[in-house]
Structure 1
Amino acid sequence: MTHLLFLFFGAALVNNFVLVRFLGLCPFLGVSNKISSAAGMGLATTFVLLITSMSCYFVNHYVLAYYHLESLELLMDIVVIAVTVQLVEIIIYNLSYELHNALGIYLPLITTNCVVLGLVLLQQSLQFSLSECLAFTTGAGLGFTLVLVIFAAIRERLAISDVPEPFKNTAIALVTAGLLSLAFMGFAGFAGSAA
């Protein structure tokens, strides 16, 4: 149980996919103008991560391995990710049309979000069990959501602040992202590298 908690917190804080591994920067910078859209994107990505991680685990271990087709793992992972994202887009469209519009083009871009494929490939290379995959994926998704919401809150505050002209908009966002990354790298001292 302790091992699973280390994996969870390691993926969420110590080895955060956005601020430590630098994956998923497109939605990090693109959808983080408002807290509501950042939270929606984070939760949608977390849902996609959970579904794709579990689906890829079962496909790779029980279908491809059974038929000795391990060379097709990457191709099948991409197909599973694309199908899952389309399902999530349909669900969000039917449940919350406003959130669907707020996320805009970034929702279908979850398919090409390197966090999703990076997570699946990392789990395969570390040869996680099903419970380890679940703990690691949940931590990675919630860590992604946490970072998006924190960054969106900071950007909302910066929008009403008196920022010097050369630092407005993208420049101050990148400086803030760098400082936030440094802050998250500080968690490495607490637990060490969990994954």
Structure 2
Amino acid sequence: MTDIFFRAILQENLALTFFLGICTFLAVSKRVDTALGLGVAMIAVQTVTVPVNHLIFQGLLVEGAWAWAGLPEVDLTYLKLISFIGVIAAIVQVLEMALDRFAPVLHRSLGIFLPLITVNCAILGGSLFMVERRLTLPESVAYGLGSGIGWALAIVTFAAIREKLRYADVPKGLRGLGLAFVVTGLMSMGFSALIGVGAG
């Protein structure tokens, strides 16, 4: 499980290896405090949704899950996408209400991007990778937590770099999104150099 956890943070980072959730990654990374808030939200959502989706998939959707009801041949795996999205939407809604109640400043700063976590492909990708890799429930918890931390680490690091680059003398053609893409590519290469860290 430790190997799965560290691999999800570093060598299989959802943002910098698979480039999932890159639209939110680029849009909310202009300030460290906002990026940190979204990163914490991603960790919370990913840590909850991956194991919950594991339980739903194994308990209700796979072939044989309904054997207890005398329906062993029922296979509902084709419903995994819609059920995963439903779980993610519910978790994000609860998180949004909690932030609105207990952290209104952060809730306002995240703006529209908080509800957009519902359709963030990094969140959905975590659950789909969990199914593809046939992880057990404890492994799903480790993977959900690790992938959330990895995405949060990437966006906070990226936001810190972008804040420093405001004071840099950047060529006119690279200012804005162009430089953001260059930095993302360099960060991706840096993270790929960490392959094997935490393994064993």
TM-score normalised by the chain length of structure 2: 0.90
1:93 pairs with 2:93: no
Aligned 8 A contact 2:6 2:197 in 1: no
- Residue 8 of structure 1: aligned partner: 5
| TM-fit CA distance, 1:189 | 5.2
- Higher-Rg member (1/2): 2
Partner residue of 2:18 out of 16, 21, 31: 21
1:62 pairs with 2:59: yes
- Residue 159 of structure 2: aligned partner: 152
Aligned equivalents of 1:95 and 1:58: distance in 2? 29
- Residue 71 of structure 2: aligned partner: none
What per-residue deviation string (whole Å, max 9, x for no partner) do you get for residues 121-162 of structure 1? 110111100111111111111111100110000000011222
Aligned equivalents of 2:122 and 2:160: distance in 1? 22
Aligned 8 A contact 1:11 1:136 in 2: yes
3-state SS of 1:138 partner: helix
Aligned pairs for 1:33-52 within 5 A: 33-52=30-49
One-letter amino acid matched to 2:175: K
Sequence identity of aligned pairs in percent? 37
Residues 1:171 and 1:71: Cα distance change in structure 2 (over 3 Å): closer
Unaligned runs of 5+ in 1: none
| TM-fit CA distance, 1:5 | 1.1
Partner residue of 2:86 out of 74, 79, 83: 79
Q: How many residues align?
A: 190
| TM-fit CA distance, 1:90 | 0.9
Partner residue of 2:192 out of 176, 185, 191: 185
- Residue 70 of structure 2: aligned partner: none
Unaligned runs of 5+ in 2: 67-73
- Residue 113 of structure 2: aligned partner: 106
1:169 pairs with 2:176: yes
One-letter amino acid matched to 1:47: A
Aligned equivalents of 1:113 and 1:137: distance in 2? 15
3-state SS of 2:19 partner: coil
Aligned pairs for 1:116-131 within 5 A: 116-131=123-138
Write 1 or 2 for the structure with the bigger share of helix: 1
Aligned equivalents of 2:78 and 2:21: distance in 1? 26
| TM-fit CA distance, 1:62 | 1.9
1:115 pairs with 2:122: yes
3-state SS of 1:32 partner: coil
Aligned equivalents of 1:151 and 1:35: distance in 2? 8
| TM-fit CA distance, 1:97 | 1.0
User: Alignment RMSD, CA only?
Assistant: 1.6
What per-residue deviation string (whole Å, max 9, x for no partner) do you get for residues 71-129 of structure 1? 32222111111111111111111111111111111111101100111110110111100
Aligned 8 A contact 2:14 2:20 in 1: yes
Aligned equivalents of 2:92 and 2:127: distance in 1? 15
3-state SS of 1:20 partner: coil
